[in-house]
Structure 1
Amino acid sequence: MTTGLSPEGGTTTAIAALGTLIRGHRLRIGLTQRELADLSTISVRAIRDLEKGKAQRPRTDTIRLIADGLRLGPRARTALEDAVRRGHPGASARHLPMERSAPPVPLHPLVERGAEAAVVTEELRTGAERLVTVVGLSGVGKTRLALEVAARLHETGLPVLWHTAPGAVADCLPADDDPLAALTADCAAHLRGEGHPDDLPPALALALGDRGAFLVLDGAEPATLDAHRLTRLLRDVPGLRLLITADEPWNVPGERLFLLSPLEAPDPARGGVRPDAPAVRLFLGRLRRVRPDLVPDEQDLAHIAEVCHRLDGHPLALAAAASWLTVCDLPTLRGIVESDPAALLDHLADGRSGPRLQDRVARTLGALPPGHRDLITGLCADGDGEFVLEDVLRLTGRPLPHCGRVIRDLLISGVVRPSTDGGRSAFRVLCVVRALAAAPVPAGTAAA
């Protein structure tokens, strides 16, 4: 490695971006600087200087050896080489190949979320909103909505930086050999408070140039995110848009809270069977996967509509119930849903989905204030869990403003959903919540 004259203009920022890329790749595969030095035959000091942005004119051969040591694929290697060329004085002003950064591929088609996707996409595309947090009960489809928004924004020319939080199960196929995987990981780590607060903004600003980018933090826990770093990142990188999928809001200035409710599942006893209802369409799609030989007739559709209504149109609950059609028929499935729906929350084909759903619902219930949990218990004891504002006034004995805030809290947490079956402003406790509401809350769940 050689050292020349001080870089001019944006060269210093370019070298800082190069260091961020190298460090991100190294940390992603769990190497120390010493281990990378041994693999690449480059000195530890040279690697340290590169990561700190002190190497003013890194040689192409040096970067090639480091890329070899990091076992980088073609795209990630090209990103490093472009960063080196930008770091040399007189180099043409080019940006990282962010146009190659595409969102992950969803595993399932989008069912009746077009209106929600259109709203979120337009707000982020125009910059009317720069921070959107999608909240809702686990399994309601937050990740699938985010994937659709990401795909639509990518079609408009925005590169997509997608990060799945540790422990979250991504229902998608990640992009292969993403050249910006390290930068995306740096963004997520930066917002979690890791590293120096001054490290990321210059590197990200250089990568974006005069363009924007769409960052998704899927399955994030807002309690672990640093609001001050977010504020600075949005200020210093004006082209950045951020979408978070979470079980609860971040509650920071400028946050656009987007509540995702379950799919529409009308009560067939009130409006008749609707084969075009979103929840029914989702169930029919799952039915074709497990029982392609079954062509539903009118009676079958009546059973399906009742199952969808009683499961409140919750996508993951519907998928789990449909998996049981490998071992039972539709009338039997309907009978189980009417008598003991909790048993159907275990997905027969995916042993993780059922326990994960029940654990996440139990955690959501445990995180509610005691008064809210008591109200849920009282509402469930009243019948099928459908209620209106007057019921909350009666059960709590509290003033109207307090009851209004309680209902809003329950809606945001996802444990209740709006109900329009009766033509009035009503709400309904979700079946997956009713199935677990009577169970004792595990010790420490509320603290989690």
Structure 2
Amino acid sequence: MKTSTITSQTGRSSGLHSPVSPPPAPAPTPARPDRPPTTVPTTATASSTTPASGTGSDSTAGQRGSTTEELPQLGALIRRHRTRIGLTQRELADLSTISVRAIRDLEQNRVRRPRSETVRLIADALRLGPRSRDALQQAARNGRFGPLAESGGTAVPPAPPTALHAVIGRDREIAVIAEELASGSERLLHIVGLAGSGKTRLALEVAGLLHREERLPVLWFAFPSQGGGSDYVTSAETALAEVLHRCVAGLLGDTGPSPADPCGEDGPTLAEYLGDQPAVLVVDGAPGSPTRPERLARLLRDCPGLRLLVTSEEPWQLPGERVFLLTPLETADGEAEHECAAARVFLDDVRRVSPGAVAGADDLAAATEICRRLDGLPTALLAASSWLVLYDLAALRRRLAEDPTPFLDHLAVQENAGRYLAALHSRVTRLPDDHRMLLAALCTSEREEFSLDDVEDLTGSPLGHCGRTMRDLLVSGVVRTVAGPAGTRFQVLHLVRAACRAFPTA
């Protein structure tokens, strides 16, 4: 995996090369009547090592092959060239077709990674020569990422929130997504899945991996409805918080900035902060598709290093979108059932709630059956384990077989009562009418598993239509595949069946 690095600066403008001071000239010899005063001329060596100042646009240290650390900050260069030719910020804005506010922000170093097109327009307006133009572009390329903290010259890329619990059973998913985002082979990766399947936790793990191993800045934006704070601690507020809010609102909201500027005109845009540098923007719990896809397309075009990682329950159906379906955790059958991913997650939490709950083989069997009843959905497993302060595993297993809906509420989080069941119901009601009708028929069937041929017989529809319908139900998360000796079969999730019973109109 190729590692991406970010060039950092100290945050202090180093200006031009420090001039080499010539040795102090000796005091002049006192004048004699027959001899004029003696002066010591400046040596040629001293004058050759002292850079000229104020002699034109091509006299900067950057134009003499200096290192990037010796270049002035971008804002200082722009201001120097502007004042040298006697332009005001308004006049430069008119000549470059860039707003006055953008010029002011650039000169004040509020935007450290402007777009290459912005730099080109300014260079054209200033009528810079080749060397001055190269110096301006070099300063722009080596500018710091806007909100990076300054610490002794070391810039630390923004980090994702800190997860409070280890992730279990998602190694393959993490590896695939991290590789695709790190390589840049996917620019818009969308994790979709049923509520409670662990999309946020997976995104956290991927983002943390990219931040640690690839040194990629991670910009995290979570919609308030997520309320994911129970599983992670958010990072401190950064200077990008307002810019991120404007940008995401502009991408997914009905109102906001004009299509010409996807992240708003009130201050620097996200594109201006990022420029060409690699970065990951995570949008967690997106409530719907972008209302103006052209804004998203422009953001990705203006930020060629940006990767967008989205989590939600439904795909956006946009060109270039890589849909990654996150299925529930494995609840495999076999002698070592308690070693499957769902059982490992459940038993790990059981030991926290009731350390002595698992005393023997019967308890392990009850635990694995509970995992099957809850479809291996992490949120449901976590809620059910909280009930072990009142039940033992055998009793909890019996009650879940009767009706799992009361046990979907975590005992320690009263404010979330009923939310998870409502989320399952909401997902079902958003399905197209014919999909809902098929789902209702499958729920009332005595069969727990069925094949595509069974669907064809049940609906009387052509095979192609049945195949597309089943694919949509799989992507929605209400149905899962079950591998077996008879080939690939399908199963409606137990909790979806329970939601349909609890809300018959679904």
Q: Above 0.5 in TM-score?
A: yes
Supply the distance in 1 between the matched residues of 2:298 and 2:316 (Cα, whole angstroms).
16
Match of 1:324 among 387, 390, 402: 387
- 1:11–1:433 distance in 2 versus 1, CA, 3 Å: same
Structure-2 change in CA distance of 1:147 and 1:293 (3 Å): same
Name the CA distance, whole Å, in 2 between partners of 1:345 and 1:264: 19
Distance (Å, rounded) in 2 between the aligned partners of 1:117 and 1:221: 23
Alignment of 1:33-432 (within 5 A): 53-54=100-101, 56=103, 80=110, 93=140, 94-95=143-144, 96-98=146-148, 99-155=156-212, 156-170=214-228, 171-193=231-253, 194-199=256-261, 203-267=269-333, 271-383=334-446, 385-422=448-485, 424-432=487-495
TM-score by length of 2: 0.68
Would the alpha carbon gap of residues 150 and 308 (structure 1) be closer, same or farther in structure 2, given more than 3 Å must change?
same
Shift of 1:289: 1.7
Q: Residue 383 and residue 235 in structure 1: after superposition, are their counterparts in 2 closer, same or farther (change >3 A)?
A: same
Conservation of the 8 A alpha-carbon contact between 1:379 and 1:386 = no
Distance change >3 Å, CA 333–CA 422, structure 1 → 2: farther
| Equivalent-residue separation in structure 1 for 2:336 and 2:460 (angstroms) | 38
Give the secondary-structure state (helix, strand or coil) at the position aligned to 1:222.
coil
8 Å contact from structure 2 (residues 220, 283) kept in 1: yes
1:69-109 C-alpha deviation (Å, 9 max, x unpaired): xxxxxxxxxx959799xx99999542224443100111221
Identity %: 44
Question: Is the CA contact (8 Å cut-off) linking 2:75 and 2:106 kept in structure 1?
Answer: no
Q: Which of 393-402 and 96-105 deviates more?
A: 96-105
CA gap of 1:250–1:81, structure 2 versus 1, over 3 A, is closer
Deviations 1:316-374, CA, capped at 9 Å, x for gaps: 11111111111111110010111111221122122244522111111111111222222
Deviations 1:286-321 (A, max 9, x none): 101211233442111010011111211111111111
| Contact 2:329–2:342 (Cα < 8 Å) also in 1 | yes
Change (3 A) 1:14 1:182: farther
Whether contact under 8 Å (1:362, 1:441) holds in the other structure is no
Task: Look up the SS of the partner of 1:250 in the other structure.
Answer: coil
Separation (CA, whole Å) in 2 of partners of 1:352 and 1:320: 13
Q: Is the 8 A contact 1:393 1:403 kept in 2?
A: yes
- Offset, 1:140: 0.4
Question: Tell me, which stretches of 5 or more residues in structure 2 are unaligned?
Answer: 1-71, 80-98, 127-134, 149-155
Which structure 1 residue ranges, 5 or more long, are not aligned? 1-7, 16-51, 64-78
| Residues 365, 14 of structure 1: alpha-carbon distance in 2 compared, 3 angstrom cutoff | farther
Q: CA deviation at 1:422?
A: 4.8
Q: Are the equivalent residues in 1 in contact too, given 2:191–2:199 (CA < 8 A)? A: yes
Aligned to 1:43: none
Instruction: Provide the rounded CA distance (Å) in 2 between the counterparts of 1:190 and 1:204.
Output: 11
Question: CA-to-partner distance for each residue in 1:17-67, whole Å, 9 max, x for gaps?
Answer: xxxxxxxxxxxxxxxxxxxxxxxxxxxxxxxxxxx643755799xx9xxxx
| Counterpart contact for 1:216–1:244, Cα < 8 Å | yes
Give yes or no for contact 2:113–2:272 (8 Å, CA) kept in 1. no
Q: How many residues align?
A: 378
Q: Note closer, same or farther for the CA distance 1:437–1:59 as it changes in structure 2 (3 Å cut).
A: closer
> In structure 2, the residue corresponding to 1:223 is in which secondary structure?
coil
State the shift of 1:183 in Å: 2.7
Do the aligned partners of residues 135 and 306 (structure 1) sit closer, same or farther apart at CA in structure 2, a change above 3 Å counting? Answer: same
After TM superposition, the score normalised by the length of structure 1 is: 0.77
Cα distance between partner residues in 1 of 2:110 and 2:102 = 14
Residue 241 of structure 1 and its aligned partner are, at CA, apart by: 0.5
Distance 1:304 1:384, change over 3 A: farther
Asked if the contact 2:343/2:371 (under 8 Å) is kept, the reply is yes
Aligned counterparts of 1:374 and 1:259: Cα–Cα separation in 2: 23
Deviation of 1:169 after TM superposition, in Å, equals 1.4
Question: Secondary structure of 2:407's match?
Answer: helix
Q: Which 4+ runs in 1 deviate beyond 4 A?
A: 8-15, 55-60, 79-84, 87-93
Q: Label 1:281 to 1:421 Cα distance change in 2 as closer, same or farther (>3 A).
A: farther
CA–CA separation in structure 2 for the residues paired with 1:57 and 1:80: 9
Is the contact between residue 385 and residue 430 of structure 1 (CA under 8 Å) also seen in structure 2?
no
Q: Which amino acid aligns with 2:252?
A: R
Q: CA deviation at 1:164?
A: 0.5
Report the aligned-residue RMSD: 3.2
Deviation at 1:199, TM superposition (A): 3.8
Take 1:418 and 1:55, find their aligned partners in 2: how far apart are those partners? 53
Distance 1:112 1:183 in 2: 35
**Alpha-carbon separation, structure 2, partners of 1:438 and 1:295:** 32
Query: Deviations along 1:133-184, whole A, 9 cap, x unmatched?
Result: 1111001000001101111111201100100113221242110133422232
Report the structure, 1 or 2, having the larger helix content.
Answer: 1
Distance in structure 1 (CA, Å) of the matches to 2:194 and 2:434 = 19
1:397-435 Cα deviation digits (max 9, x unpaired): 111111111111111111011112556201111111010
With over 3 angstroms needed to count, the CA separation of the structure-2 counterparts of 1:13 and 1:436, relative to structure 1, is farther
> What amino acid is the match of 1:149?
V
Cα distance in 2 between the residues matched to 1:296 and 1:234: 54
